[in-house]
Structure formats: C-alpha cells, structure tokens
C-alpha cells in the first residue's frame, strides 16, 4: 500500500505544504515536500516521533521554509512533528495507549493508536524515501552528547547508512543492533539507508542545538547530492558502544558528573537518597568511558535510566 499523496503528482520546483490525516482520522500531520528540478533521489527528514524532543522539529521547521526548490536536485520530505498527539502532551509515548512509536514500526492498522500511527508514518513518509535522517533528542528528562546511530549490519543499505553517518560532523558514532520496531530496523528491511541522530534533551531548544541540527541536515542532503553545502571540515569520529546505569531504588538522584565527562571504572557518578535523607545507593561506573546520557530529573524510580556511558571501540 502506498502513501495517500503521490510524489509524482507534485509539480517540480515547488514547496508543497501538505497534511496527512492518520488512518484513525484523529490526527493531522503537517509536512512539506520540496520538489527540485528533478524528483529523485528522495530524502526524508523526520523528527517528533517522540513528543518530548524538540531540537529536530525546530531545525526542520526553519529549513523546510528556507531551502529554495530551484536549488534542489531531487525531493525532500520534511516532517517536523510525526507524532502530534505525543507532542501535545509533551510525552515520549503516545498519550492514548502509552506506546512507543519508535518501537512499533512498521506498525499495523489492526493495532492500537501507536501501531496505527507507526503504520501511517511508515507508509506516508518512510517508504517514499531513498534515504532517511531521523532526528531525536533523548527525552525531556535527560541530556545527551550529540551522536549518530546506524545499523551495524552488513547489508548494502546499512553500509550506505554508515557512510553518510561519518559525513554528518558528529564526534561520536554508535553502530547499533537496533531492536525490532525501531524505524531504522524497519526501513533497512526495505533497503533504505537511515541514520538516527540524538541532539539536545530536557525538552529545550538551544542556539547550539539548532546550529548542530541544521548543519547535520544540510550535510545529509549534500551527501546524496540533493543540495550543495560547504560543510566545515569533518572530524574523524570515535566509534562507541555503551552500557546503561539504572537506579535500583526510588528516591532523589544526585549526579556528580556532567555530560561529556570521562569516568574511570569504579568512579562514583552519583547517589540516590531516600526521602528521609538516607543513602540508598552509590552509583559507580563499571567500566571507563564518557558520560553520554545523564538523567537530570532527580526524582527516580527503580529501573529508571540514570546514565549511559560510551566506551570507545575499534573501527571495524
Ligand atoms: Zn527519541
């Protein structure tokens, strides 16, 4: 099943402001398709799959109105907020059934609201593209060092994903074995290269985050020859793997580190205290690495993610 809108019915050299109504008819997803002098290749630049991540949506909103169709060789589908219901409630998950859309692709029309939305995003946007840049910002509860994720599989589309990921200007690249349900995993099965990037956090939009997202989007489009863009020099990236540190108790989390800090194995990273002030837990690094994700919301429950630590790995 294809999308309800048809790329080949759009005039070339045009900024097309469109709306996709979800299958349940409850939600409208505004999007813009810039058709250039030719229609192919087609890049999808998508954000707002999680409703509490805002750097990507803001950068997309700017670029989708700025880029001149006459300077585009191909087409760009810009979706600033793919999950308007979650955006309205400022939650990662879909407010109607608490589902995570980015664990639900390719979705199903027979499922609940999250499954249906995943299906709609997949068919309306993803399957129309020959490459995809998916922008994330970790969550409103944590900060993240900017990094790009791509599949560590060896398929041609995964290798093409790795190639573009290395051109986006990130210091940290995270090759990943995506769990099923992630957009990346679902589109690679269709041979479409995809990179998911993480920038920002804390539900904020900052000048620094905007400059970075903008640069990443322009680099991505230029890699596929869709626009011309003279990027600053590209640093040699560091490839990483990661481990998570979870809270084992409920209480007040006090962090002793900052995002980007280096920690040694055994280093005390923070503490969790009971409401009476008692020390419930001392959080320590199990291996040396860099603080990549740091929970800033200090009220924690058992199994909440407190930190993610990046460890350098060899370039394959
Ligand atoms: Zn996200």
**In a domain? residue 146:** yes
Say how many Å lie between the CA of residue 49 and the centre of ligand 1: 7
Q: Are residues 65 and 17 in the same domain?
A: yes
Say how many Å lie between the CA of residue 80 and the centre of ligand 1: 13
| pLDDT tens-digit map of 94-139 | 999 999 999 999 999 999 999 999 999 999 999 999 999 999 999 9
Q: Are residues 213 and 310 in the same domain?
A: no
Q: Are residues 12 and 139 in the same domain?
A: yes
Q: Are residues 72 and 137 in the same domain?
A: yes
Q: How many domains does the chain have?
A: 2
Distance CA 61, CA 292 (A): 27
Say how many Å lie between the CA of residue 294 and the centre of ligand 1: 15
Say how many Å lie between the CA of residue 100 and the centre of ligand 1: 9
Instruction: Find all residues with CB under 8 Å of 138, minimum gap 6, and list them.
Output: 53, 144, 198, 200, 201, 293
Mean pLDDT, rounded, of the chain = 96
In contact, 43 and 94? CB cutoff 8 Å: no
Query: Given this model, what pLDDT does residue 145 score?
Result: 97
Query: Given this model, what pLDDT does residue 227 score?
Result: 98
Say how many Å lie between the CA of residue 53 and the centre of ligand 1: 6
- Quick check: 316 pLDDT over 70? no
**In a domain? residue 228:** no
Local confidence band at 233 (pLDDT 50, 70, 90 cut-offs): confident
Say how many Å lie between the CA of residue 178 and the centre of ligand 1: 14
Quick one: average pLDDT of 228-245?
Answer: 92
Write out the residue range of the structural domain in which residue 111 sits.
7-223
Local confidence band at 234 (pLDDT 50, 70, 90 cut-offs): confident
Say how many Å lie between the CA of residue 134 and the centre of ligand 1: 9
- Quick check: 268 pLDDT over 70? yes
CATH number for the domain harbouring residue 260: 2.40.50.100
Quick one: average pLDDT of 144-172?
Answer: 97
- Quick check: 153 pLDDT over 80? yes
- Quick check: 44 pLDDT over 70? yes
- Quick check: 26 pLDDT over 90? no
**In a domain? residue 284:** yes
- Quick check: 189 pLDDT over 80? yes
Q: Are residues 51 and 120 in the same domain?
A: yes
Say how many Å lie between the CA of residue 138 and the centre of ligand 1: 5
Say how many Å lie between the CA of residue 154 and the centre of ligand 1: 25
Quick one: average pLDDT of 157-176?
Answer: 97
Quick one: average pLDDT of 269-290?
Answer: 97
Say how many Å lie between the CA of residue 183 and the centre of ligand 1: 11
**In a domain? residue 38:** yes
Say how many Å lie between the CA of residue 46 and the centre of ligand 1: 11
Query: Given this model, what pLDDT does residue 235 score?
Result: 81
| Beta-strand pair 289-295/305-312 | antiparallel
In contact, 15 and 24? CB cutoff 8 Å: no
**In a domain? residue 62:** yes
- Quick check: 37 pLDDT over 80? yes
**In a domain? residue 287:** yes
Closest-CA residue to 240 (of 201, 180, 294, 292): 292
Query: Given this model, what pLDDT does residue 232 score?
Result: 83
Q: Are residues 139 and 29 in the same domain?
A: yes
Query: Given this model, what pLDDT does residue 315 score?
Result: 54
Say how many Å lie between the CA of residue 300 and the centre of ligand 1: 20
Q: Are residues 186 and 263 in the same domain?
A: no
CATH number for the domain harbouring residue 30: 3.40.630.10
| pLDDT tens-digit map of 191-214 | 999 999 999 999 999 999 999 999
Distance CA 187, CA 122 (A): 8
Say how many Å lie between the CA of residue 6 and the centre of ligand 1: 28
Q: Are residues 216 and 304 in the same domain?
A: no
- The strand pairing partners of 255, in sequence order, are 270
Burial status of residue 100 (CB atoms within 10 A of its CB: 0-12, 13-18, 19 or more): middle
Say how many Å lie between the CA of residue 29 and the centre of ligand 1: 17
């Amino acid at each position: 099943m294809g999308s309800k809108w048809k790329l080949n019915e759009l005039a070339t050299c045009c900024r097309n402001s469109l709306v996709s109504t979800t299958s349940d008819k409850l939600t409208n997803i505004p999007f813009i398709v810039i058709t250039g002098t030719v229609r192919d290749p087609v890049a999808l630049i998508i954000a707002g799959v999680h409703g509490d991540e805002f750097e990507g949506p803001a950068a997309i909103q700017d670029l989708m109105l700025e880029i001149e169709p006459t300077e585009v060789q191909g087409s760009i589908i810009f979706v600033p907020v793919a999950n308007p219901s979650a955006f309205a409630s400022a939650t990662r998950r879909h407010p109607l059934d608490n589902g995570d859309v980015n664990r639900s692709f390719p979705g199903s029309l027979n499922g609940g609201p999250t499954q249906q939305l995943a299906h709609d995003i997949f068919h309306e946007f993803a399957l129309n593209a020959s490459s995809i840049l998916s922008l994330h910002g970790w969550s409103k509860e944590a900060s993240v060092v900017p990094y790009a994720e791509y599949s560590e599989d060896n398929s041609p589309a995964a290798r093409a994903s790795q190639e573009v990921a290395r051109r986006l200007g990130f210091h940290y690249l995270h090759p990943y074995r995506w769990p099923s349900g992630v957009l990346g995993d679902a589109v690679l099965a269709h041979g479409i290269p995809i990179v998911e990037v993480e920038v920002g956090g804390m539900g904020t939009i900052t000048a620094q985050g905007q400059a970075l997202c903008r640069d990443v989007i322009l680099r991505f489009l230029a890699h596929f020859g869709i626009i011309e863009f003279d990027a600053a020099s590209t640093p040699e990236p560091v490839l990483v793997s990661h481990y998570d540190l979870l809270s084992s108790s409920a209480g007040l989390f006090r962090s002793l580190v900052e995002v980007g800090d280096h920690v040694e194995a055994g280093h005390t990273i923070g503490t969790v205290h009971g409401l009476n002030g008692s020390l419930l837990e001392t959080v320590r690094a199990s291996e040396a690495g860099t603080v990549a994700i740091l929970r800033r919301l200090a009220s924690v429950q058992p199994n909440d993610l407190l930190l993610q630590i990046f460890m350098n790995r060899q370039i394959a």
